[in-house]
Every structure is written in C-alpha cells, then in structure tokens.
Amino acid sequence: MTIQPNSIEARDKAYQLHSYTNARALERDGSLVIDRGEGVYVYDNNGKKYIEAMAGLWSVAVGFGENRLVEAAARQMAKLPYYHTFTARSHGPSVELAEKLIQMAPVPMSKAYFTNSGSEANDTAMKMVWYRSNALGKPEKKKIISRIKGYHGVTIASASLTGLPNNHRSFDLPLPGIFHTTCPHYRVFKQEGETESAFVERCAKDLEDLVLREGPETVAAFIGEPVMGAGGVIVPPAGYWEAIQKVLKKYDILFIADEVICGFGRTGKMFATETFSLEPDIITVSKQISSSYQPISALLINEKVYQPLADESANIGTFGHGVTAAGHPVAAAVALENIAIIEERDLVGNVRALAPKFQSRLKAMESHPLAIEARGTGLIGALELKPRDGFAAGELGPKLLAVMLEKGLISRAIGDSLALCPPMIISESQVDAVFDLFEDSLNAFQKQLSA
C-alpha cells in the first residue's frame, strides 16, 4: 500500500510511536486506521468492514457503539467530571462500583482498590504483597512466582511478572526476586511419554521445587491467569489449578488471580475463579469491566490482605500509593453501566450458549493440513499453525493474519497462533461468519504457500 502524503497514515507514522509494533516496518507499511464501530464490527478509514473477533484487546464485551455507555459517561461528565479518592475523599461512582464488585466477587473479598490498567493493577498487587509482609514482620517474604508465557502487563514490576521474552529483552528485566515456573501447555512442555495427569503433577512439583529452592519463608505470592491469554490462549489441563493451589496453601503463599481477560464472563462464568474453583486472595480485573470504553482496573483483596495493610497504613500514617485518575468517576460510571448491561442481557449466558458451537468449529480446524492445535474455552480460543520448512517460528502467524484481515476478519497473531476473543454480544450466525472467514483465509493461505 502506498501512503499518500498528509493522509492519516502518513501523519501517524510521522508523529506516533506504537505499542507492540516494529517501528521500522510501520515507517514502511503504515498502520490500519480504524474509524468507527458498531456491534461486533469495526470499519477502517476507507469504509472497509471487519468482524472484530478480538473484541479490541480481549475487552469490548458489549460490542462497539453501545449508546448506554456513551450516555452514562456524558451524565457523569456533566455532574462531576473528575474527583479523586486520595486523603479520605470519595465520590458516588467509585463507592457504587466498589460495592458492586465486592458483592459480585466469586470468593469472599473485603475491599476494592482502583487503578487504570491491568499493568497498574498487577504492579499494585505486588506492592500490596510486599507491604503486607512488612506489616506482618516478615520482611524476607517478598519473592513472587509467575509462569513462563504468563502475561501480566508492561510496567517494570508487571513486565517482570510477565513470562514472555519480548517484554524482558533489552528492558533489563525481570527484576530480581521474580521467578517463572512451568507453563501448563501440555503439548509444548510435556516430556517424552508423559500423560496429561503426570504433566499436571510435574507442574505442581516444579512449583514446589522452586519454593523449596528459594526458601518458603521468602516466597510471598504466586500470580496466574486462570486461562493464559496473550501467551497464546492456554487452557490448563484438568486438575492443574487444584494441584497448584495445594502447594500455595502448604507454604502460606498468597494467590493472585489475574482475571484481566477472563473477568466478567469470558469463560462462561462471571469470573474464571468460579470456572476453575480458585481461591485467590487478590483478584485483578480490567478490560471487560468497562468494555474498555474507559480505562479502569481494580484489585479485589480479601481480609488476609486488607487487615495487615490497614495496620501498616496506621503505623506509617498513610497507605502511600495511588494514581491521580484511579477510580475516575466517569470510568466508574461507565463500568457500572457496562456491568449492568452484561447482567441484564445475560451476556455470560450467551457465552455459555455459544461456547459449544465456537469451540467445536475451532476444534474442527485442527484437522486442517496447516494446523497443529486448537485451544480454548468459553468464547476465547486460538488455532496454532504447524511449523513449516523455510519459515522461522512466529513467521507464519502474521502472514495468515494478513490474509484474514484482507477477508475482513480481525484476529491476533501470537507467534504462530491466531487468537479469537469476540465481543460477548456475538450471535450464533456471527460465530459462523467468524469461522467461515477463518477457514476461507486458511485455505487461501494454503494456496498461497503452495504457489
């Protein structure tokens, strides 16, 4: 594509540095400019229509162009466009949202704490864990365990928790004191002849070995996504979470469930904590809390976390943490309306109703000559491509993605896996349309490869 002078694409490459983008490739090829959205569809600046089968970044649960969220934002903007929650100040939307989240929480939680992004929520979780250990007189209990291929964000602490090379390489990360244990992706990480249940046992043993090697008295917390998202949509094998939680309990290690993708219905329950019978001490949420119409995230913390933290704040005189826009009244008002829509329209029920079709059509693609594995649960999934002679690992995914885009389907290439995570308002015929386009793209790509 040639980039016209003074076009939005030309101005974009002239002035804007993009996240998760090869900056030199963007200088050459430009960007795809999305102009508007409606339901599960978005339109680019040339009027081309796409099915947004990634819901933006796994996040637009109620779809694009939801007027109720526009109105909720406008109402709050007119009444009180900004206030904060520092120094014992508060405002209605933050109180209402905190109350709603604590009432909805899948396990007993004590308090909600607001931040603006998933990264900040996980960063804050780590700081709370450290603060708590100091409050309990255990200053040595600070180490945090995460997993290879886990994704928890990009700030210095949360990028350290993330277990992906691109988030560490050239950033001098991870920080010391953060460790990554085995990824529960059976096909990739199993040993020769290892059954799935033996693999699960080994995942738990690897965690226990790491804890013992480091010293249990030094390990404060474990963080994990119930289903790994940005690491490639990895659904852990049966029994995995039970085995992991046993180790955490044995050594008095806090459990942080990162529900930034799973939260608010993605796996067919409001929280994946229910789907996988988890007992987290901290839950972090973002994305679908507001369908990303406004930036907002939250931590839900239980009494085990809150009580020592409250004591320490009293000792010191303040809980010395917080960002200016946290619990923003407009973002909180939008989140409340978004959650109301999810409940009123039973979008979680819609996920459960459509999941069998979504997953069976995805699974059917596993037998395509180009594919090696289909993975997923609820309305999230990925198809991984087979390694192929003449192509480096991670080279095929973006090439197929380009074919999909050409056909009007937005997915995301995670190496050679193509992810799907459509808005939760999607209909049955739209699920079929997603997979029809996906299959067409795969067949076209196969022709292209053999030409």
Distance CA 42, CA 64 (A): 8
Minimum distance from residue 149 beta carbon to ligand PMP (Å): 11
Q: Which positions from 379 through 438 interact with ligand PMP, judged by CB under 6 A?
A: none
Distance CA 122, CA 284 (A): 7
Contact range with ligand PMP by CB under 6 A, out of 151-159, 320-328, 371-379, 410-418 = 151-159
Minimum distance from residue 412 beta carbon to ligand PMP (Å): 10
Residue 225, interface with ligand PMP (CB under 6 A)?
yes
SS3 381: strand
Decide if 445 contacts 407 (C-beta within 8 A).
no
E strand map for 286-411: 297-301, 371-377, 380-385, 409-410
Dihedral angle over CA of 149, 152, 155, 157, nearest 10: -80
Site string for ligand PMP, 63-102 (x = CB under 6 A): ----------------------------------------
Contact range with ligand PMP by CB under 6 A, out of 5-13, 211-219, 254-262, 269-277 = 254-262
Residue 286, interface with ligand PMP (CB under 6 A)?
yes
Which of 37, 150 has the CB closer to ligand PMP? 150
Contact range with ligand PMP by CB under 6 A, out of 72-80, 145-153, 212-220, 365-373 = 145-153
Minimum distance from residue 391 beta carbon to ligand PMP (Å): 26
Among 230, 334, 339, 437, binds ligand PMP (CB under 6 A): 230
Minimum distance from residue 179 beta carbon to ligand PMP (Å): 18
Distance CA 332, CA 338 (A): 10
Residue 280, interface with ligand PMP (CB under 6 A)?
no
Residue 123, interface with ligand PMP (CB under 6 A)?
no
Minimum distance from residue 379 beta carbon to ligand PMP (Å): 15
Dihedral angle over CA of 126, 132, 135, 139, nearest 10: -50
Residue 151, interface with ligand PMP (CB under 6 A)?
yes
Q: What angle do CA 66, 17, 398 make, to 5 degrees?
A: 75
Decide if 289 contacts 94 (C-beta within 8 A).
no
Among 153, 265, 280, 381, binds ligand PMP (CB under 6 A): 153
Distance CA 239, CA 8 (A): 50
Work out whether strand 219-224 and strand 143-147 pair parallel, antiparallel, or are unpaired: parallel
State in Å, rounded, how far the first CA of the chain is from the last one: 22
Decide if 247 contacts 211 (C-beta within 8 A).
yes
- Site residues, ligand PMP (CB under 6 A): 57, 117-119, 122, 151-153, 225, 229-230, 258, 260-261, 286
